[in-house]
Structure 1
Amino acid sequence: MREIPGAPPPNLGDLTRAQDRISFIYLERCVVHRDSNAITATDERGTIHIPAASLGALLLGPGTNVSHQAMMLLAESGSTAVWVGEQGVRYYAHGRTLTQSSRLLDAQAKLVTNQSSRLRVARDMYAMRFPEDEGLDQLTMQQLRGREGARVKRLYKAHSERTGVTWDRREYDLADFEGGSVVNQALSAANTSLYGVVHAVIVALGCSPGLGFVHTGHERSFVYDIADLYKAEITVPAAFDVAADPDLHDDIPAASRHAVRDRLRDGRLLIRCVRDIRQLLLPDEDADDDALWSSNVVSIWDGADRSVAGGQNYEADW
C-alpha cells in the first residue's frame, strides 16, 4: 500500500484538553502560515507564533491570507478556523467543529422533536434570562412569551431613562434599515453582531443552528434562542449607549458593532455560551467532560436507545 505523504496527525490523547485551551485568538490583515507545530501570523511588524494544540478557535478577520499548511495544522490539532468580520463581530463561515462527538447534536435533535422535552428546554432558557422569577417550570409557552414581553418592555424603559434616549417600541424593517429610529438601528446592528458570535460557538460545538426550541422555522433558530440569553446585558445597553451619543450617528452599524465588541473583549461570553449550551442539552452530564469534545467512536444504531460498535460485520445477526 502506498504510504500517505506528510506527517501523521497526533493522537487525540496527546492534544490539550478543551477546557485548558485558549478560547480564541483573533487575527486580521496578516499572512497566516505554519512553522512546525505552531501557527504563524506575519504583518509589517513581524511574526508571532501561536501553539496550535493549545488553541480553541482561530478567528480570521479582514485582510487575512491563510496557507494550506496552516489549515492542515489546525485540523490536526482539533482547533477550528472561523471567518469573521472586523474584530470578530460577524460570523461568515467556519472550518470544522471542535468536537468529533455528535452527543450534543444527538441530544439537541432528541429534545427538540419531543414536545415535553422541548418545553422543558424553553423553560430553562427563560429561567437563565430571568433567574429571579419563580414558577417558570409550570408555565406554558404562551405564558412564557407574555412574561418575557413584560420583562423586555421594562428593560427598554430602564435604559431609556438611564440614557435619555426616547423609546417607543422595537420596530424594524429588514428591507429598510435606515427607516428605523436611531436606537432601533443600533439594536439591529448590535444583535446581528451577537448572532455572529453565538453562531460560531454553536457550530464549533457541533450543534445545529437551525434546530431551535423557542424560535423555529429558520436556519438560525437555535442561534436566536441562545443569543436571547445575553441581549439584556450586552446588546440592549450597547445600543442605547450608541443612540445617546450624537457623535456616533454618522455610522450607527459600525458604532454598534464596536460597542458589542468592547463588551466581548475578555472572552467570558464564549466560555459562558459553551457552558449554557451544554447545560441546556445535557443537563445531567459533567459540563467539563472531555468526551463531549474528543470522542472519536463511530457506532451503529441498534434500535430504540441502543447502539453497537461500528467497523464490524454483523452477517451472523441477519
Structure 2
Amino acid sequence: MAAPTPSKRPIQLPALTRVKDRISFLYLERCTVHRDQNALTVTDKESVVHVPAAAIGTLLFGPGTRVTHQAMSLLADSGATAVWVGENGVRYYAHGRSLARSSRLLESQARLVSNQQLRLGVAREMYELRFPGEDISQATMQQLRGREGARIRRIYREQSEKWKVPWTRRDYRVDDFDSSDEINKALSAAHVCLYGIIHTVIVSLGCSPGLGFVHTGHDKSFVYDIADLYKAQLTIPIAFQVTASEPADVTAGVRHAVRDAVFSSGLMGRCAQDIQQLLLPDEVPEDTELGNDVVNIWDYAAGLLPSGNNYATSGDAS
C-alpha cells in the first residue's frame, strides 16, 4: 500500500490579501521555486529568498525556472496567477483558483455579453473611460473604433516627440520578436506585463478572461478589453521612456518600469473597481472580493435554494 502523500491545509479566505492590495508581479528565471509553510522559496546559485504567496498577484516563470508541486498548490490556494513565459515573455499558460467564492460577477458578465444592447452599453462605457467628459452615448462601434485609433496614433506621435525616439508604426511579429526595432520590442514587453496583471485581476474576481465586449473570439478577449483602458497612461509612455534611455536589455528595463508604475499608481485596485463598475454598475463595490463560500441550487420558479439538502418528497420515485 502506497504511503499517503503529505499535504498542508489550504489557506483560509480571511488570511488572503485582496487583489487590489497585492504586489503586481514577480519575474523569475534560472531558479527553483518551492514552498516553506505559507511562503514560496526562490533558490538560485547565490541565495534563497522567501516570498509571501498571498501578497503576489502574478508570478512570471521565465527560462530555466523549476517549480515544485507544493509551490503550485500554494499558489492555487492563494489565488495567485502562475504564468510560464518564454525568452521574450510572449506566452500565457496557467492560473490558480479565483480569490472569489461568489459567481455574481461572472453571471453578470455572461448576461451582459449575451445581449446585444447590453453588450453595446458596456462597450460604450469602456470607451467613455478613455474619453472622459465627452458624450458618446449615440456613437456607433465603428465611430468609437475610429476615435480610439486616432487617439492612440496621437499618443504614439506625442511620446515619440517627447522622448526623441523615432516612430513609424506598430510593427511586430509574434513568432519573431527580434525582427522588431527597439521601441516595438519595448511596447510588446510592456503590454505582455500589463496583460498578465489584468488577467490576474480578472481571474481573482471570478470573471471569465474569454468573454469580451469589444474583443471577441479569443480566450483572453476580456483581458484585452480591460488592458486597453490603461495603455495610453501606462505602458505606451513607459516603453518610449525606457527606449530613450538606451538600456542594454530593453525588455528587462521595461518590466522593471512597469512593475514600479503599477505599484505606485495602484493599478490593481483601480482595475478591480473598474471591472466591478462595468459588470455590476448598480452595486457598491465590496470591501473584499472574496465573498461568501456558499453554494446554492437554481430553480426557475423558486429562485435560489440552499444546497446540501435532500429535496426528495414522498411523491418522488424511490
Q: TM (normalized to structure 2)?
A: 0.78
Map of 1:255 onto structure 2: 250
Question: What displacement does 1:167 show?
Answer: 4.1
Alpha-carbon distance in structure 1 between the residues aligned to 2:196 and 2:115: 28
| Structure 2 counterparts to residues 10-21 of structure 1, below 5 A | 11-13=12-14, 15-16=15-16, 18=18
Question: What displacement does 1:111 show?
Answer: 0.9
Map of 1:298 onto structure 2: 295
Q: Which moved more, 1:4-13 or 1:107-116?
A: 4-13
Indicate if the aligned counterparts of 1:170 and 1:184 stay in contact, CA closer than 8 A: yes
| Structure 2 counterparts to residues 268-279 of structure 1, below 5 A | 268-279=266-277
Question: What displacement does 1:181 show?
Answer: 5.9
SS state of the match for residue 145, structure 2? Answer: helix
Q: String of CA shifts for 1:83-130, please: whole Å, max 9, x gaps.
A: 344899664321222222222211111111112221121111112122
Map of 1:307 onto structure 2: 304
Change (3 A) 1:68 1:164: closer
Indicate if the aligned counterparts of 1:61 and 1:87 stay in contact, CA closer than 8 A: no
SS state of the match for residue 193, structure 2? Answer: helix
Residue 100 of structure 1 aligns with an amino acid whose one-letter code is: R
Work out whether 1:264 is the aligned partner of 2:259: yes
Change (3 A) 1:4 1:129: same
Alpha-carbon distance in structure 1 between the residues aligned to 2:192 and 2:39: 33
Change (3 A) 1:313 1:226: same
Indicate if the aligned counterparts of 2:41 and 2:48 stay in contact, CA closer than 8 A: yes
Map of 1:119 onto structure 2: 120
Change (3 A) 1:56 1:307: farther
SS state of the match for residue 100, structure 1? Answer: coil
| Structure 2 counterparts to residues 1-318 of structure 1, below 5 A | 8-9=9-10, 11-13=12-14, 15-16=15-16, 18=18, 22-24=22-24, 26=26, 28=28, 29-52=30-53, 54-57=54-57, 59-62=59-62, 63-76=64-77, 78-85=78-85, 91-131=92-132, 133-172=133-172, 183-241=183-241, 244=244, 247=246, 255-256=250-251, 258-266=253-261, 267=263, 268-290=266-288, 292-303=289-300, 306-316=303-313
SS state of the match for residue 118, structure 2? Answer: helix
Question: What displacement does 1:217 show?
Answer: 1.8
Question: What displacement does 1:257 show?
Answer: 5.8
State the identity as a percent: 49
Alpha-carbon distance in structure 2 between the residues aligned to 1:176 and 1:241: 23
Gaps of 5+ in 2: none
Q: Which moved more, 1:189-198 or 1:199-208?
A: 189-198
Alpha-carbon distance in structure 1 between the residues aligned to 2:241 and 2:155: 14
Q: Which moved more, 1:204-213 or 1:190-199?
A: 190-199
SS state of the match for residue 285, structure 2? Answer: coil
Indicate if the aligned counterparts of 1:26 and 1:58 stay in contact, CA closer than 8 A: yes
SS state of the match for residue 34, structure 2? Answer: strand
SS state of the match for residue 216, structure 1? Answer: coil
Change (3 A) 1:12 1:190: closer
Alpha-carbon distance in structure 2 between the residues aligned to 1:134 and 1:304: 43
SS state of the match for residue 187, structure 2? Answer: helix
Q: String of CA shifts for 1:204-239, please: whole Å, max 9, x gaps.
A: 322211111011122221111111111112232234
Gaps of 5+ in 1: none
Indicate if the aligned counterparts of 1:190 and 1:257 stay in contact, CA closer than 8 A: no
Change (3 A) 1:12 1:164: closer
Indicate if the aligned counterparts of 1:99 and 1:293 stay in contact, CA closer than 8 A: yes
Q: String of CA shifts for 1:249-307, please: whole Å, max 9, x gaps.
A: xx8xx6246325413325232222222212211222232343x4242111122228932
Q: Which moved more, 1:171-180 or 1:59-68?
A: 171-180
Q: TM (normalized to structure 1)?
A: 0.78
Change (3 A) 1:202 1:9: closer
Indicate if the aligned counterparts of 2:243 and 2:250 stay in contact, CA closer than 8 A: no
